[in-house]
Amino acid sequence: MSEIQNVTVLGAGVLGSQIVMQAAYAGKNVVAYDIKQEFLDKLPARWEWMRGHYAKDLSDFTAEKFDDAVGRITTSTDIAEAVGDADVVIEAVPENLDLKKEVWGNVGKAVKDSAILLTNSSSLRPSDFADATGRADRFLALH
């Protein structure tokens, strides 16, 4: 198995943005994807909000490490571009079955065969939309 270095997070809302930062803080290159640029434009303010929590809660926090994490984050409104190099794709879109099927169908067409596909769904059964990926054998729930 190859090392996981490139992570894409689908959905830049409350949960998605926290997943983005956690992956970047852990040293991963992260693409934050959302359907509208205006959603992605809110991320810098969220990073600053998170900075205070990281400083307070993490014993290994340094401003430099946090700034480096922010530097490893890019954004995209193009799903194929966002997932093209991903080793891991983590979905954190709204809890709507049809939306999840649509998103995963688009991901399945663009993601590399070796990618690990994860949903952060909290109220829908992953088995109800895993087949939409075309790669159900690589699809897991992460929560």
Question: What integer pLDDT is reported at residue 54 of this predicted model?
Answer: 98
Half-sphere exposure of 40 (CA within 13 A, CB side): 16
- DSSP-derived letter for residue 67 is H
Q: Can you list the domains of the chain with their CATH numbers?
A: 6-141 (3.40.50.720)
On the 0-12 / 13-18 / 19+ scale of CB atoms within 10 A, 70 is middle
Residue 60 CB neighbour total at 10 angstroms: 7
Q: What is the pLDDT of residue 1?
A: 45
Buried residues in 106-125 as b, exposed as e (16+ CB within 10 A): bbbebbeeebbbbbbbeeee
pLDDT tens per residue, range 14-33 = 999 999 999 999 999 999 99
Q: Give the residue ranges of the chain where pLDDT is below 50.
A: 1
